[in-house]
Amino acid sequence: MADLDRLTQALARNLKRWRGERGFTLDVLAARAGVSRGMIIQIEQARTNPSVGTTVRLADALGVSVTALLDRAQDSPVRLVPGDRAVRLWSTEAGSSTVLHVGAEAHGPLELWTWRLMPGEGTTSDPHPEGTVELLHVTAGELTLVVGGTAHAVPAGDSASFEAHHPHAYRNDGPEPVEITMTVSVPPVR
């Protein structure tokens, strides 16, 4: 079975599990996530691979990390994630990408990511639930972080944190690749 097929199966299984644990009907989850009921059905039946944005909206609506939706491992007190098992969720032909390394569910979802943005590339993010915080550290290049419409230059060696319930975007306006390590903390679902 190919990695994408395993990921699709894991997402289907985990989305059903978390929706059931939360007691959410298809209609409730669709309304909370802003994702159509039909799309959720297709995902739960492993008939589609949703976009990163759809996956993030579902995770946010369920109050779990993206890791919890994509995790193929069994429950254990220790979870080791070999580098080749990290999940690449977004990439471009130019070489930009995001990789979700590991996450946890204790006291709300917590995720660790690395990002690579090639010159001239960027991506936007829908606002996350109130109380979500992102911490990032730029390890190469200069990131242009846009939060609530205001751009902030974050050069290599600098860090930033922000409340991610505001619209936000990450851009590389410079001539060299940007590399970022990021942690995302989402509050538990109420």
Domain boundary among 70, 96, 122: 70
Which helix (DSSP H) or strand (DSSP E) does residue 142 occupy? strand 142-147
Nearest to 97 by CA among 77, 123, 132: 123
The CA-based dihedral angle spanning residues 55, 57, 62, 66, taken in that order and rounded to the nearest 10 degrees: 40
pLDDT on residue 79: 58
Whole-angstrom Cα Rg for the chain: 16
Tell me, yes or no, whether 173 lies in a domain. yes
pLDDT on residue 76: 46
Chain segment 146-163, per-residue pLDDT in tens: 999 999 999 998 888 888
For residue 158, the enclosing domain spans: 83-185
pLDDT on residue 144: 96
3-state secondary structure (DSSP) of residue 91: strand
Tell me, yes or no, whether 78 lies in a domain. no
pLDDT on residue 124: 93
**Most confident residue range from 111-115, 120-124, 156-160:** 120-124
Is the same domain home to 172 and 113? yes
Is the same domain home to 98 and 180? yes
Is the same domain home to 13 and 87? no
Q: Give me the amino acid identity at 39.
A: M
Tell me, yes or no, whether 30 lies in a domain. yes
Domain boundary among 70, 95, 121: 70
Q: Write out the two tokens for 131.
A: 């109380």
Mean pLDDT rounded to a whole number for the chain = 86
Tell me, yes or no, whether 190 lies in a domain. no
Chain segment 23-76, per-residue pLDDT in tens: 899 999 999 999 999 999 999 999 998 888 899 999 999 988 888 888 766 444
CATH assignment at residue 95: 2.60.120.10
Q: Domain tally for the chain?
A: 2
The pTM of the full predicted model, rounded to 2 decimals, is 0.59
Percent of the chain with pLDDT over 90: 46
